[in-house]
Amino acid sequence: MKLAPLKGIVHSDPEIMGGTPVFVGTRVPLQNLIDYLEGGESIDDFLDAFPTVKRKQVIAVIEAGRRTILAAV
């Protein structure tokens, strides 16, 4: 899995959650954010549920997704 655009934001380490991509400095999987947003929850709801994740990390993930999508069209 390529995570270079998210260096310092999200990382994958076999010693942390079996290599599941997590927000740096936490054990919160990136998939949790995706699940919250797909479920209609807000970023604030996610941050309230996972206070170890910083707003700037969430925004960086969304921005990386935006750049990836725009580069593909």
pTM reported for the whole predicted model:
0.86
- The predicted-structure confidence for 6-44, as pLDDT tens digits, reads as follows 788 999 999 999 999 999 999 999 999 999 999 999 999
**CATH fold for domain 4-72:** Arc Repressor Mutant, subunit A (1.10.10)
Q: What residue spans define the domains of the chain? A: 4-72
Sequence-distant (≥ 6) Cβ neighbours of residue 43 within 8 angstroms: 37, 55, 58
Q: What is the DSSP letter of 14?
A: T
Q: What is the DSSP letter of 23?
A: E
**The two structure tokens encoding residue 50:** 């996972």
Is residue 27 within 8 A of residue 54, CB to CB? The reply is no
Question: Does position 1 have pLDDT exceeding 50, yes or no?
Answer: no
